[in-house]
Amino acid sequence: MSATLEAAIFLSMNGRAKEAVDFYKKHLKAEQHLLITYADMAKRDSSVRLTDENRNHVTHSVLTIGKTKIMLAEETMDAGEAYTVGNNTSLCIQSADLEEINEFYNSLTGDDRVTVILPLGPNVFSKAYGIVQDPFGIQIQLMYDERLK
């Protein structure tokens, strides 16, 4: 196992991510490390559909509360799902070891009880990012993050 491997809590906030970031900073002394809006993302990726409604919504944010990393965004991991309490959390496994992320993905998807929501592949924020759902209904994000080095 690599020294950069970590798991983080990921919360989908149904359009209230910025409010939640501010709340956790105020009440839990959370430290904000990253906050990217749809407007920010649209500057990097022309395929992002920017509207007046979503332009200031959070696509991704990273906080720490003590030593625990919390990530927040607006939507659930499966955009086809309606938001309900229960599908607004996921496990996010990250590593600066690309081989390790690929091994986890291949192991998980080798189990026929696992559903692939987003195949592992490159996007604007990672060389490898994917989402699966385990047999227990837990959505797991896998992400290569070179910043963990």
Distance CA 32, CA 30 (A): 6
Indicate yes or no: pTM above 0.85. Answer: no
Structure tokens at 29: 């002394």
Q: How does DSSP assign 42-76, residue by residue?
A: HHH-TTS---TTTTTSEEEEEEEETTEEEEEESS-
Predicted confidence (pLDDT) per residue in 19-47, tens digit: 999 989 998 889 999 999 999 999 999 99
Radius of gyration of the chain (CA): 15
Q: What is the mean pLDDT of residues 54-81?
A: 88
Buried b (16+ CB within 10 A) or exposed e, 119-130: ebeeeebbebbb
Rounded mean pLDDT of the chain? 90
| Per-residue pLDDT, 58 | 95
The per-residue pLDDT for 67 is: 85
E strand or H helix at 107: helix 98-109
Residue 127: which H helix or E strand, with range?
strand 126-133
pLDDT above 90 for 82:
no
**pLDDT score of 117:** 95
Residue 56 has pLDDT above 80, yes or no: yes
